[in-house]
Amino acid sequence: MRDKFRNLQLDKIDLAIIDNLQKDGRISNSDLADKVGLSQSACLRRVKGLETQGVIEGYVAVMDQTAAGLPDNVFVQITVEKQTKELLGEFERLVKDCPQIMECYLMSGDADYLLRVIVSDASDYEKLHMDVLTTLPGVSQIKSNFSLRTVTKKNDIPFNL
């Protein structure tokens, strides 16, 4: 990520815009311009440029899982029987369609995939396990770990390391 930033040659103002937007995606252009020391029109041009370059991918509201009735995180390691392009492609397409699967990573190591799923409780996970996870193509092993609590959860990308 840092190489992508370096290749784009972002200056201090771009980085200040990104920093402020990561902290408050709803900040007005007027307030953002004041914080980074630009006119409103120059600030808006910079933000639009960062969006066009793909540095800013989008804006979202971050929901509270508990308020949504899905307080539990389960980390699921999935091993597939073989890693063919077709099997992995179908597996990944189906994973993307499941609304309770919040994240999915193709991994090195013992498991092929690591998923973070959100559920209301253990019985909700059992249903997801039986109805979705075990039916995914090529699955040979599933290992599940319930999170006891979230220690930290970040949304800001550390671009100034």
What tens digit of pLDDT does each residue of 76-95 get? 999 999 999 999 999 999 99
Whether the per-residue pLDDT at 6 is higher than 70: the answer is: no
Are the C-beta atoms of 74 and 144 separated by less than 8 Å? yes
Whether residue 62 lies inside any domain: the answer is no
Residue 158's pLDDT band, with cuts at 50, 70 and 90, is confident
pTM: 0.85
- Quick one: 34 and 87 in the same domain? no
Write the CA distances from 103 to 28, 49, 95, 118, 130, integer angstroms: 30, 28, 9, 10, 19
- Quick one: 22 and 84 in the same domain? no
Structural domain that includes position 120: 72-146
What tens digit of pLDDT does each residue of 38-79 get? 999 999 999 999 999 999 999 999 999 999 999 999 999 999
